[in-house]
Amino acid sequence: MKTQYDIEGGNFSKAGFASSEVKRMLKQLNLDIKLIKRVVVAMYEGEVNIVVHAYHGTAEVDVSEKRIRILFTDRGPGIKDIDQAMQAGFSTATEKIREMGFGAGMGLPNIKAHADELNISSTPGKGTQVEIICYIKKDHQNT
Amino acid sequence: MKKDAFHHALKIDTDLCIGCANCMRVCPTEALRVQGGKARLEANHCIDCGECFRHCPVNAIIIEQDDFSQTRNYKYRVAIIPAVFTGQFPEDITTEEIHSSLMHLGFTHIYEAESAVDLVFKKQQQTLNSGKVATPAISAFCPAIVRLIQVKFPSLVPHILPVKPPLDVSAAYYLRKLKDQGVYDKDVGIFYVTPCAAKIAAVKSPVGEEASCINGVINMDFLYNKVYTLIRQKKDDFCAIPDRQQLSSMDILWSLTNGEKEHVANRSLAIDGINNVTAFLERVENDEIANIDFLELRSCDESCAGGVLTGGNRFLTAERLRKRAAKAPINNVKDILRYQKDLMKQISTNPVEPRSMLILDNDVSSAIRKMKQIQSTMERLPRVDCTVCGAPSCHALAKDVVQGKASIRQCIFIQKRLEQKDMMDKNESLDILRDIWGKPKLDKNR
């Protein structure tokens, strides 16, 4: 099952909207609540990344019985050094954004901690693609 | 559903119900539908918050109470009353007068529920400091909130602070005290005077605790009228109140908004109003809220002062309680503390179990399939949430359709489209509306 969400760069008051919608969807599927939490936290971080850094982006969410896949695609500055961006605490966010409680440099590391798979590709000056996958294992189903 | 037999205090009187759907539109858990011209309650979804009761224009939502005459079955008749009860009376009526009238009405002992606040607070602090509850910890004071979390936010169940509200502890104390005076268990009737439906449901089918020691529940509006009439009739006739206890200011304010929050040293928030609470819990569930240790969440606006069974204006009730608190001792030693050791052992509840009402199917692939069907059904619906189909929203109808509880032909927009294509005649669409809204509504203007 596929759904798609638009994410507007710079609109902090809407950050979290798409992940809330996805959460609402996952809550209907009798999945383990810990799995839902992992997906929602990872997705929220991805959403915030677009709001903080990019001009515009989309989140495509695909849910099957085996896995939940989220693909973020944005138009934005891109990431010059992905390894560096993956380090906890590394951030290119401005002071202003940090004051708002974002841009602590934990976004990508936090996604990595919550997702089963994380794939990033980026073209500096153009944009970034972030793919997040969480697997639904047998024991993730409640009985 | 994991459990089924839930006691609900809210019932619909189908003789009185005019099928106006006001209740359905305000229900925070979409537990109501209209069928055959009457509101119908989906028991597993109802959290007894009482919003429907508040909005019913013809008093067709009833809150089932125990028959007052039942108090007569006991030799010792204890009224456990919350502070908001006295808060509803005009200021020239004293607490003594109110309690004295309750004695006239047949109670032998009057005890204010909040007398146990000291113990509850102590246990809350111990439990918070134990680190065993997920943060932010959520107070279990308001039973409608506990049920809201169970059905709508199952992942937040581990955040519920497993500490009973003061009324349960007060009831346990009074029973114990009378027993120590040589009174037999069977001779004691403990009656709680409730400001809301949720407390009734909590007493009748407690969440996370064994059977309650409360024998019956009396609705506050009923007793308010009785007491007020009595006071108006004979203003000066007092009777002595045995074991009169003074509440401290902390006790008096406990059931108002900020009543619990005020005393938590760490960062905490107090939120009242079921929709405000729901919106905030969405964010807690997303892990967006950091560094908050304690949440005081109350279903009613102005907390218990705004309980659906309180007769007075909630702002005036809160004001009167604040005035009473200003005059009350800040700290006082109460008789209940004699039993502190034993009561503290009974004050924790068992862990609360989630019982999600959201799950479409226990099998994940079937649930995904149903969700896809809901999604495609939604694409055909107008998304105006007009409720003419008898469901509270287009989404609720789509869900009902997929679960085989409704037909998409109930949608009036779909009907118009089908009529235009000659796929439904006018009589059929009228019949559908008659099934939903009842015969009289469609036939009266003929």
As given in the structure block, the two tokens for residue B298 are: 């109350």
Neighbours of A135 (CB within 10 A): 13
Q: How far is A84 from chain B (nearest CA, A)?
A: 25
Neighbours of B329 (CB within 10 A): 12
Q: Which domains does chain A have, with CATH numbers?
A: 2-140 (3.30.565.10)
Nearest to A124 by CA among A72, A56, A57, A74: A74
B371 interaction partners in chain A (CB closer than 8 Å): 1, 25, 28-29, 63
**Is residue B237 over pLDDT 70?**
no
Give residue B394's pLDDT: 97
Q: Which of residues 408-427 of B touch A (CB under 8 A)?
A: none
Q: Tell me whether residues A41 and B365 touch, CB distance under 8 A.
A: no
Band (pLDDT 50/70/90 cuts) for residue B43 is confident
**Is residue A127 over pLDDT 70?**
yes
Q: Which helix (H) or strand (E) holds B218?
A: strand B216-219
Give residue A108's pLDDT: 87
B48/B127 Cα distance (integer angstroms): 27
As given in the structure block, the two tokens for residue B284 are: 């807690």
> Which CATH class name applies to B10-63?
alpha beta
Give residue B245's pLDDT: 78
As given in the structure block, the two tokens for residue B28 are: 């925070």
pLDDT digits (tens, 9 = 90+) for B136-180: 999 999 999 999 999 999 999 999 999 999 999 999 999 999 999
B156/A23 Cα distance (integer angstroms): 13
Q: Tell me whether residues A27 and B356 touch, CB distance under 8 A.
A: yes
**Is residue B11 over pLDDT 80?**
yes
Band (pLDDT 50/70/90 cuts) for residue A143 is very low
What region, left, alpha or beta, does residue B330 occupy, with left being phi > 0 and alpha being psi -120 to 50 degrees?
alpha
B373/B225 Cα distance (integer angstroms): 52
A48/A11 Cα distance (integer angstroms): 9
B104/B87 Cα distance (integer angstroms): 20
**Is residue B2 over pLDDT 50?**
no
Give residue B330's pLDDT: 78
Collapsing DSSP states into helix, strand and coil, what is residue B417?
A: helix
pLDDT digits (tens, 9 = 90+) for A82-112: 888 888 888 887 888 877 777 777 788 889 9
Nearest to A1 by CA among A57, A67, A56, A52: A67
B373 interaction partners in chain A (CB closer than 8 Å): none
Q: Tell me whether residues A29 and B368 touch, CB distance under 8 A.
A: yes
As given in the structure block, the two tokens for residue B158 are: 């581990």
ipTM higher than threshold 0.85: no
Q: What mean pLDDT comes out for the span B236-253?
A: 81
Q: How far is B414 from chain A (nearest CA, A)?
A: 24
Q: How far is A82 from chain B (nearest CA, A)?
A: 25
Q: Compute the count of residue pairs across chains A and B with CB atoms less than 8 Å apart.
A: 65
For residue B406, how many C-alpha atoms fall within 13 Å in the half-sphere facing its CB? Answer: 28
Give residue B119's pLDDT: 95
In sequence order, the 6+-apart residues with CB closer than 8 A to the CB of B253 are B259, B262, B321, B322, B325
Give residue B215's pLDDT: 92
**Is residue A141 over pLDDT 80?**
no
Give residue B446's pLDDT: 53
pLDDT higher for B91 or B301? Answer: B301
Q: What residue ranges do the domains of chain B occupy?
A: 10-63, 68-346, 364-443
Q: Tell me whether residues B372 and A65 touch, CB distance under 8 A.
A: no
Q: Considering chain B, what is the average pLDDT of its residues?
A: 91
B179-188, B263-272, B283-292: segment of lowest average pLDDT: B283-292
**Is residue B241 over pLDDT 80?**
no
Q: How far is B373 from chain A (nearest CA, A)?
A: 10
pLDDT digits (tens, 9 = 90+) for B72-125: 999 999 999 999 999 999 988 988 889 999 999 999 999 999 999 999 999 999
Nearest to B286 among A23, A25, A143 (CB): A23
Q: How far is B387 from chain A (nearest CA, A)?
A: 22
**Is residue A139 over pLDDT 70?**
no
User: Does residue B367 sit at the A interface (CB-CB below 8 Å)?
Assistant: yes
B209-223, B265-279, B298-312, B359-373: segment of lowest average pLDDT: B209-223
Q: Tell me whether residues B283 and A23 touch, CB distance under 8 A.
A: no
A143 interaction partners in chain B (CB closer than 8 Å): 362
Q: How far is B320 from chain A (nearest CA, A)?
A: 39
Residue of A nearest to B373 (CA): A1
Q: Tell me whether residues A19 and B286 touch, CB distance under 8 A.
A: yes
A101-105, B198-202, B382-386: segment of lowest average pLDDT: A101-105
Give residue B4's pLDDT: 44
User: Does residue A37 sit at the B interface (CB-CB below 8 Å)?
Assistant: yes
Q: Which of residues 102-131 of A touch B (CB under 8 A)?
A: none
A37 interaction partners in chain B (CB closer than 8 Å): 155, 287
Give residue B1's pLDDT: 34
